[in-house]
Structure 1
């Protein structure tokens, strides 16, 4: 069963790019006076975007940005191969689409590494494959044209069918994975189609500058989430907590939360189940009421900050949270999956239901206390909660 985790990311990225293009078209009179400057800055902006992506190990976007650079340079300047490229528009469109799809399958590696050679070889193979495909279609086209029932399908089989298949695969990858880079690659595919099929009423240099800026924004957002979001739970990290502490007012409450017997649980059922426990607790914590903000402090420890809330409100919200976690039945299944027939013939003896509990320590800021001191007080309260038998809230 597929989970469409990337729907919001895909729609947001595509919509954002569409808004940028529409804005450039709508305010065309405002920037037309600077068209010469934009044209002169296009290549530097593209190269800067490629270098920026490479610096943050976003090699896929860096390579795609370099390909945009080569494409724009071939259109803006005259090279020995420029005439051949002008007469090879179908090849450009098909190869560009294939490259974007392949980039969605790859992982980000350091750009200047041994992986660069293999990726350049793949790009070269894409060029030859696209050329071979278009040449080989002459035989297929002859057969389709001579057939009364299929003579109308010639352009679709030769050109439209591969593009439709590539677009569908890119769209599927973007929808089923919450990845901003894949969403950006899908948006790039749509824009690549629009450029090659002359659907845009904008100069190429303006469109390419927008693409470069979108790539810069993608790398920046990705890097931010890498620094401030925990990969496993999706919660903000301790660094984000420290950042929040700088903007807190004088009145706030901090709660330190720890999963009871997590190490024993991890040793008994394995690290994979331990990760599931962390995800479960994180998902419950993310639903905390009364305006609490949740962070993963480290390991099996979490932090909840209530800004501007009274201790009573924070305590009640945390008590409700503790009960919700303790009352949730977590089903542990065996690691090796069985076939459907095997599951139906045997009783579900391989399943075990366990309950996870948490201990919580709460501290409210007193006069002249720093954030670190409040966190330390919450830690001491957490220690008291564990001494009282765990699965309780202490302040």
Structure 2
């Protein structure tokens, strides 16, 4: 199961503001001509541009969701346009609305929980086949038995579960509930911005349908913003894949390079390396090696003194202290080194994982043969006047890191310190 820290507020960073903005705009009685024209073309524009983006990056699930929301928008928009022009609803308006209320949560929940597991073309063919089979069956029944189908959909099938607040057909609410449970479980099992967005998008659709013929802009605004939320979630995840290390959760090399370009004249850079990391992998396996990296990253993330930790690559990490001096940063580096050293890593299989943090602390206090000690070596360098860029400072920190390794590891060495000085500093720290 994911840890509590995996459920981050930034998963809602793009979706929640868009949904709130959509609800506020949809409640407005009048929109100026510009925004009214914008929301009339925005669903089609998002389907074309967002769909092309999904195809390029192989995001079949998001593409199918865009198509489903757009089809629901198109069918209902045809009905609302007729109502505005003629002052009355079409003869088939109730049947179309009931079918949309039924099929929209069905396909949204199905495609939202249907993850990509095959080739792009095969997956899209399978999704299209399901859509055509169910949609074609409903269309055939609507043409052959329109009155009977409409009566069956509008019927109250479970009187004990019917409430006066229900603005949709009764059958729609169980489908919304099932879709919500599926998407909520999916997010709990794998916290991702997309999974959080899918859940919020379902809430938007549940609010939109009863207000389609009540609020003049509810359909266009909510459909547009739900589709925009899906596209924004794809972009958000693409950004995280490119700029955030998936294993440790720390910012990656690209973020570090961008940050180095914006440092001022005074700063400190430290390079941290896990001691004997290859030995962990060779002795205990790569799973334990991954746990070691996660442990070190979790300690480095808490570095004080205004420092920021990055995954440099492999078992190396970089810490950046903008606007600081070497003397100001050294106590914080020593503190994080000691935090890693004094945190025994328990070796256990997944069935023996602690149920909570309290049990985990109790096990760590009773560390024995089932635990390993992890240490790190740190080389640190302060920018000097003759150094023209941050790459030169990193090279100085690397040289200090090699000196820390030669000094016996598990110590902090600053630029210019020799082997004897490093040993002396380590002894003082201990």
Equivalent in the alignment of 2:332: 317
SS in 1 for 2:108: helix
SS in 2 for 1:222: helix
Q: Distance in 1 between matches of 2:26 and 2:172?
A: 29
Report how far residue 257 of structure 1 moved.
Answer: 0.5
Report how far residue 243 of structure 1 moved.
Answer: 0.6
What TM-score results when the alignment is normalised by the length of structure 2? Answer: 0.76
- The alignment status of 1:291 with 2:309, answered yes or no, reads no
Q: Distance in 1 between matches of 2:279 and 2:12?
A: 43
Equivalent in the alignment of 1:160: 173
Equivalent in the alignment of 2:17: 16
- The alignment status of 1:354 with 2:372, answered yes or no, reads yes
What TM-score results when the alignment is normalised by the length of structure 1? Answer: 0.82
Report how far residue 44 of structure 1 moved.
Answer: 2.4
Contact persistence 1:361–1:394 (CA under 8 A): yes
Report how far residue 273 of structure 1 moved.
Answer: 1.1
Report how far residue 277 of structure 1 moved.
Answer: 0.8
Q: Distance in 1 between matches of 2:8 and 2:307?
A: 27
Task: Render the CA deviation track for 1:285-343: whole Å, top value 9, x for unaligned.
Answer: 100001111110001110000000111111111110000000001110146769x9xxx
Equivalent in the alignment of 2:184: 171
SS in 2 for 1:45: helix
- Of residues 384-393 and 30-39 in structure 1, the stretch that sits farther from structure 2 once superposed is 30-39
Contact persistence 1:93–1:192 (CA under 8 A): no
Equivalent in the alignment of 1:363: 381
Equivalent in the alignment of 1:97: 105
253 and 10 in structure 1: CA distance in 2 versus 1, 3 angstrom threshold: closer
Equivalent in the alignment of 2:75: 74
- Of residues 368-377 and 114-123 in structure 1, the stretch that sits farther from structure 2 once superposed is 114-123
89 and 22 in structure 1: CA distance in 2 versus 1, 3 angstrom threshold: closer
Equivalent in the alignment of 1:183: 196
The one of 226, 233, 246 equivalent to 2:261 is: 246
- The alignment status of 1:106 with 2:102, answered yes or no, reads no
Equivalent residues in 2 for 1:43-82 (5 A)? 43-77=44-78
Contact persistence 1:57–1:110 (CA under 8 A): no
Q: Distance in 1 between matches of 2:34 and 2:192?
A: 38
Q: Distance in 2 between matches of 1:55 and 1:109?
A: 17
Q: Distance in 1 between matches of 2:399 and 2:8?
A: 43
Contact persistence 1:260–1:358 (CA under 8 A): yes
- The alignment status of 1:281 with 2:296, answered yes or no, reads yes
Report how far residue 278 of structure 1 moved.
Answer: 0.7
Report how far residue 39 of structure 1 moved.
Answer: 1.8
Long gaps (5+) in structure 2 = 80-89, 142-147, 164-168, 356-365, 415-430
Q: Distance in 2 between matches of 1:101 and 1:251?
A: 53
